[in-house]
Amino acid sequence: MPPQHIAIIMDGNGRWAKERGLPRLKGHERGAANVRPVTEECVAQGVKFLTLYAFSTENWKRPGDEVNGLWILLGHFLELELPTMMKYGIRLRTIGRTHELPEEAQQKLANTIAATAENKALTLILALNYSSRTELADAARRIAEDAKRGALDPATITPDTIGARLYTSEYPDPDLLIRTSGEMRLSNFMLWQLSYSEFYITPKMWPDFGKEDLRAAIVEFHKRDRRFGGI
Ligand code: FPP
CA max distance for the chain: 59
168-223 pLDDT per residue, tens = 999 999 999 999 999 999 999 999 999 999 999 999 999 999 999 999 999 999 99
The predicted pLDDT at position 164 comes to: 98
Give residue 86's identity as a one-letter amino acid code. M
Name the region of 95 (left: φ>0; alpha: ψ -120 to 50; beta: rest). beta
The predicted pLDDT at position 133 comes to: 98
Give residue 217's identity as a one-letter amino acid code. A
- Catalytic positions, written as ranges: 11, 59
Q: Which CATH number fits domain 5-131+173-223: 3.40.50.150, 1.25.40.390, 3.40.1180.10, 3.40.50.1370?
A: 3.40.1180.10
195/203 Cα distance (integer angstroms): 23
8-66 pLDDT per residue, tens = 999 999 999 999 999 999 999 999 999 999 999 999 999 999 999 999 999 999 999 99
Of 157, 187, 175, the C-alpha closest to 222 is 175
The strand pairing partners of 177, in sequence order, are: 7, 199
pTM exceeds 0.85: yes
Nearest CA to ligand 1 atom 16: 74
Q: Terminus-to-terminus CA distance in the chain, angstroms?
A: 21
Q: Calculate the average pLDDT of the chain.
A: 98
Question: Is the confidence at residue 7, as pLDDT, over 90?
Answer: yes
Q: Which residues line ligand 1 (CB under 6 A)?
A: 10-15, 28, 31-32, 35, 52, 54, 59, 70, 73-74, 77, 126, 181, 206
Q: Residue 226 — pLDDT band, cuts 50, 70, 90?
A: confident
Of 124, 163, 169, the C-alpha closest to 32 is 124
Q: Which residues, 6 or more positions from 207, have their beta carbon under 8 angstroms from its beta carbon?
A: 12, 13, 16, 27, 30, 31, 33, 34
Name the region of 55 (left: φ>0; alpha: ψ -120 to 50; beta: rest). beta
Instruction: Compute, in angstroms, the gap from residue 75 CA to the centroid of ligand 1.
Output: 15
86-129 pLDDT per residue, tens = 999 999 999 999 999 999 999 999 999 999 999 999 999 999 99
The predicted pLDDT at position 85 comes to: 98
Phi, psi of 180 (to 5 degrees): -95, 165
